Amino acid sequence: MSTELEQKVENLLGRMSLAQKVGQMVQTERMAIEPQQVKEYHIGSVLSGGGSCPGENQVGDWVDMNDAYWMASMEEDEEHLAIPIIYGIDAIHGNNNVSGATIFPHNIGLGAARDPELLKRIARVTAKEILATGLDWTFAPTLAVARNSQWGRTYESYSEDPEVVSSYAGAFVEGLQADLGDDAVVACVKHWVGDGGTTEGIDQGDTRISEAELERLHIAPYYPAIDQGVLTVMASFNSWNGDKCHGHRYLLSYVLKERMQFNGFIISDWDGIDYLSESYYEAVAQGVNAGIDMFMVSEHWQPFIDHLTHHVVLGTVPMERIDDAVRRILRVKFAFGLFDKPRPKARCWSNDQSFGSQSHREVAREAVRKSLVLLKNDAQMLPLEKTQRILVAGKSANNKGHQCGGFTVAWQGTSGNEFVVGGSSIWQGIKAIAPDAELSSGSTGEDADPAKHDVAIVVIGEKPYAEGMGDIRTGDDVIVQAGSQIKGLLKVLEPYGDSLVLADLHPEDLETITNITSRGVPVVTVMLSGRPLVTNRELDASSAFVAAWLPGSEGQGIADVLFGDHDFSGKLSFSWPRNDKKTPNIGDNDYDPLFPYGFGLDYGS
């Protein structure tokens, strides 16, 4: 940061009252605050949680909303300084909260693409679609290195291998932040740190490893992001050897800020400090003193302000810590040029027609093609001929909600084609280039007939989920054990299931495949999932098998590859399990996956 910028920060900081400083440390949800309160309490940031949208969820609704908050924050008088708010959103695979956005494959698919240049282009498109809605800041990219597929956020991870995650970190940050000019948004790398390493894959659980392992596996991807100038970092819900990351002064203040020389600001996760202590008053002090600078407080932001002010007056939170936090927040706002930008309604990209445009969707379609991993192709079943008589079946064949997964329009995602506006389902993409394709009545494949169908494409897999509601939990005992090892509280959500075996999770999938094969029609299976699953029975029943992950809104990218217009190029960034006893990771002493890390067939195989 330049000397001139630092001087601006110090000049403004020197004019601020305690109330103004504490207000800057607050981020709250749009449903919990009115624009006038943003001015009254000097609020630093507002966000939209998953699925929280203004009006009819159109681009213009978002611009109008942020414009009202921004204008309120810039009203200066004797008791208020003009300090612009920064608005945050979980735009993690495109601007995925907004109707009509381009939805990219989730990170697990992008990891299979092994293409940092593509990641940079995806980030540029995402930035433009965020800017079109008048917003400033996305909580992306996720730099988790997922080591247990039972974790419900595995799909937010690029790979089990920190090298893949590291190769993407700087590229994605560069794509979002660019030169911090009019074409940029603020990036936020998350979750600091060790979120992908918890015992039993429990979301927000405990990562019990040495510091050397933490450094090698989970801290490593943050270095290229910091080198690229990432402006914000989000703290993680998980614990490290029993100690909550939200209250971990060593990891937050020493490792990240001092040793790694991160000079932006750290934001908490959603109500992240609430789990530090049963006393919210004590939790506030713990979080601030540990090194968190801005606090994501979903609703109870006024008690937070009261508690923190009281702590400063009593001396239980030093004024120096408050000044450090606000200095960092102002530094980011000045570095991003927020003080010099016009109101959101007047910004050059606001309401731009490129939102959800064909050119943006072509980038997403390319990403779909590159993310697909071919696991089986007996007797060169693929590529298919466009003139073949094809039956398309499976619960997810004509379901854009399923192919987009969680964090799409709603926090837990959607089902059907109604809510994901634009793009194409997998069925629609097939029908566009294979005119003799037919959608199975009821999607169950019972109408398969070798006299009418040469081959069937069956689209199977998981339904949408997000965060802890995607966990696979073998029993309550794992929660009891985790809770006994963590100092603080553990937030527990209802899990997705109790097994990584697809035939147990979704028996209807294997039933659909066998409905068709038993009638004499061979099956090409396309699996949608947020993680590798135990699919031995489905693989055995299929002539060809494709891991399509969660491809997003551009289902036609799958047809591009199935019919040979493009070859398969994706390689597994996660090892594929042989059974559900243990998630295999490359480098394990007993490494014995069904398909190894890096596996992926192509048409030349």
Residues serving a catalytic function are 269, 467
Q: Determine the Cα–Cα distance for residues 192 and 178; give it in Å rounded to an integer.
A: 23
Q: What are phi and psi of 222, to 5 degrees?
A: -75, -25
- Structure tokens, 542: 């299929």
Nearest to 273 by CA among 250, 324, 313, 307: 307
3-state helix, strand, coil in the chain (%, to 5): 40, 15, 45
Residue 442: CB atoms within 10 A of its CB come to 11
Nearest to 403 by CA among 520, 546, 299, 288: 546
Sheet holding 86-89, edge to edge: 137-138, 86-89, 45-48, 26-29, 295-297
- Triad 346, 352, 353: Cα angle to 5°: 155
Nearest to 373 by CA among 505, 477, 527, 252: 527
Q: What is each CA distance from 295 to 10, 89, 299, 301, 490, in whole angstroms?
A: 22, 14, 11, 9, 19
3-state DSSP call for residue 431? Answer: helix
Torsion sign, CA atoms 565, 428, 543, 527 = positive
Nearest to 387 by CA among 523, 564, 168: 564
